[in-house]
Amino acid sequence: TLIKQRRESVDMFRKGGREDLAANEEAELKMIEGYLPASASEGDIRAAVEAAVAETGATSSRQMGAVMKAVNARLAGQRVDNKMISELVKSRLG
């Protein structure tokens, strides 16, 4: 995503000793984030995963797709890190 690209750019500029360019990217990042919906917290995502597992009755990783769909439905309208959701669902289902 655009946010992820900007954060990576900031890291790369800092590693390269270009603090001026890093500051510029950070300013643009803050401006972009101002237009985006609020990001779901890790706690919100964990709660949604637990509720989705209970709702779907999932007991194995083969049911991961159904759980992911239920989590995304619960967090609709919020920015979410799908990688984090996937990792939490995997760890919850074993």
Calculate the alpha carbon distances from 59 to 3, 35, 64 in Å. Answer: 34, 38, 9
**Could you report the average pLDDT of every consecutive run of 10 residues in the chain (94 residues)?**
89 96 95 87 93 93 93 91 92 89
Cβ-based neighbours of 72, under 8 Å, separated by 6 or more: 80, 82, 85
Tokens of residue 36, six digits: 């985006």
Q: Supply the pLDDT for residue 74.
A: 94
Query: Domain ranges in the chain?
Result: 2-35, 42-93
CATH topology of domain 42-93: Arc Repressor Mutant, subunit A (1.10.10)
Q: Supply the pLDDT for residue 9.
A: 95
Cβ-based neighbours of 66, under 8 Å, separated by 6 or more: 56, 58
